[in-house]
Structure 1
């Protein structure tokens, strides 16, 4: 298990690839973001995207999964927030997405010495290494020494 003390600013991780399907895009869109360019291939063809695209929220959810899977060995206790969320280009059926995560900042918690606060930068990249999504996330991470 990697604790707060084991993490260094500049540490970088890469997730595995996740390939999105048309059926996943439509299912998510129908349930959570029912805009025609997420749910109807024909209507999407006439949209600004020129075809079916994943919801930005679906893209963010996939990034969350990729982050958890690529950092299972970290003693993260709770997420505190997301900042500077940006969608740079759409995720289309058949595209893949992978997550690059870098530790940007860390500090000990002022309210609980058993925890540290870590801010990470995230970039979701498609199969062509084009930036699809970016954001910063802040989380509490357990200290191995309990803050003593």
Structure 2
């Protein structure tokens, strides 16, 4: 089980559970956070480049974050970060899509002065067809394993 920065290695892969996206989910999120017609109204969405109702990219990001948190990739440690690199939306998320997220540890930097390290995990959200819909690479801060002599 991965619990500490020291338990990580480059190439470790993580997979989350799944969530099904509903029309109601898309409209509820959009109404509060991204009230654009292609997120709120099927008829209006048909006349856009999306050619139908599509989830807000920020909704997809929030769903992905929830899936990652629920997967508990670092055991009891929270997912705390200092930034995100390479955030991209590749294709729209539609009502009925079933999303899951997969991650790969791509960079590990131990701190020279603090009992922690920086881990970068490239996360990609996929729909039920295996198509990548969203990717992001957060920079996470993780505690190092306590030294048994000083703990």
TM-score (norm 1): 0.93
The runs of 5 or more residues in structure 1 that have no matched partner are none
> Which of the residues 81, 84, 91 maps onto 2:83?
81
Aligned residue number for residue 7 of structure 1: 8
SS of residue matched to 1:97? strand
Which ranges of 4 or more aligned residues in structure 1 deviate by more than 4 Å? Answer: none
The runs of 5 or more residues in structure 2 that have no matched partner are none
1:143 aligns with 2:144: yes
RMSD: 1.7
Q: Which string of whole-angstrom CA distances, capped at 9 and with x for unpartnered residues, describes residues 21-74 of structure 1?
A: 000100111110011000111101111111100000000000100111112515
Alignment partners' CA distance in 2, 1:97 and 1:129: 9
Aligned residue number for residue 54 of structure 1: 55
SS of residue matched to 2:121? strand
Alignment partners' CA distance in 2, 1:124 and 1:131: 6
Alignment partners' CA distance in 2, 1:5 and 1:140: 12
CA 1:104/1:74 → structure 2, altered by over 3 Å: closer, same or farther?
A: farther
How many pairs were matched up?
Answer: 147
CA 1:37/1:87 → structure 2, altered by over 3 Å: closer, same or farther?
A: same
Q: How far has the Cα of 1:75 moved from its partner?
A: 2.4
Aligned residue number for residue 32 of structure 2: 31
SS of residue matched to 2:35? coil
Aligned residue number for residue 130 of structure 2: 129
8 Å CA contact retained: 1:76, 1:140: no
TM-score (norm 2): 0.91
